[in-house]
Amino acid sequence: MTTTSTFVETQFPPDISYGSSGGSGFSTTVFTTEGGWEQRNINWSMTRAEYDVSQGIKSRSDMDVLVQFFMAMKGKAYAFRFKDWADYYIANQELAVGDGTTTAFQLIKVYTDPLGLSSFTRTIAKPVTGTLTTVLIAGVPTTAFTVDYTTGMFTFATAPAATHPIVVSYIEFDTPVRFDIDKLNVRQDFWEVESWEGIRLIEVRI
């Protein structure tokens, strides 16, 4: 038996992901009393996304590409990048506030309700190469840093000074996922017309 936790730094075909359905989800257990009162327990500290990409197959060539990709990923075995067209970029995001000592900061995305009363911070581990625009420290653009596009870590040559906010103007990111199926299920509907129902992808924790 061979075990693997391989992540392949390749992106699922974006033309097919464009027609997908799904997104990030939480796990919450709700206990309800006989009087109708509720207690809600948060089971996950992080979200886990699920997608169905079957609706993204628009042509025979799309199916050919998908079958090639599925075989290369060996079904569930290898994880890979996925562009969630509903949530794939970060704009004007404060990563942290400098302390004069720390040089490395994780890329994040913060989701906040309109009144700013509640928020959720998501760790972003798979930024997309070539999509970063500007990084500012205390409002001043800087290029004295490196980005690890496989982990989402920003490392600065000099630690940002205390109280100085570090802001990413714009960057795109992928969601790390794997197939949740191990078997091809392509159906011949008509001549040169094929379909494949229920192609489920599930997010993997990095």
Q: Where are the beta strands (DSSP E) in 37-152?
A: 38-42, 50-52, 79-82, 89-97, 104-106, 108-112, 119-123, 135-137, 140-142, 145-148
**pLDDT tens column, 139-173:** 999 999 999 999 999 999 999 999 999 999 999 99
**pLDDT tens column, 8-60:** 999 999 999 998 889 999 999 999 998 999 999 999 999 999 999 988 777 77
Q: What is the pTM of this model?
A: 0.89
Percentage of the chain beyond pLDDT 90 is 77
Judged against a pLDDT cut of 80, whether residue 191 lies above it is answered with no
The pair of structure tokens assigned to 137 is: 């420290």
Tell me how far apart the alpha carbons of residues 80 and 66 are, in angstroms, rounded to a whole number: 13
User: What pLDDT score was predicted for residue 197?
Assistant: 67
Q: 179-185: long-range contacts at Cβ-Cβ below 8 A with a sequence spacing of 24 or more?
A: 179/70, 179/73, 179/75, 179/76, 180/50, 180/76, 181/75, 181/76, 182/75, 182/76, 183/75, 184/67, 184/70
CB 99 within 8 A of CB 137: no
Judged against a pLDDT cut of 60, whether residue 76 lies above it is answered with yes
Domain ranges of the chain: 7-83+175-203, 89-172
Q: Which stretches of 93-149 are DSSP H helices?
A: none
Judged against a pLDDT cut of 50, whether residue 186 lies above it is answered with yes
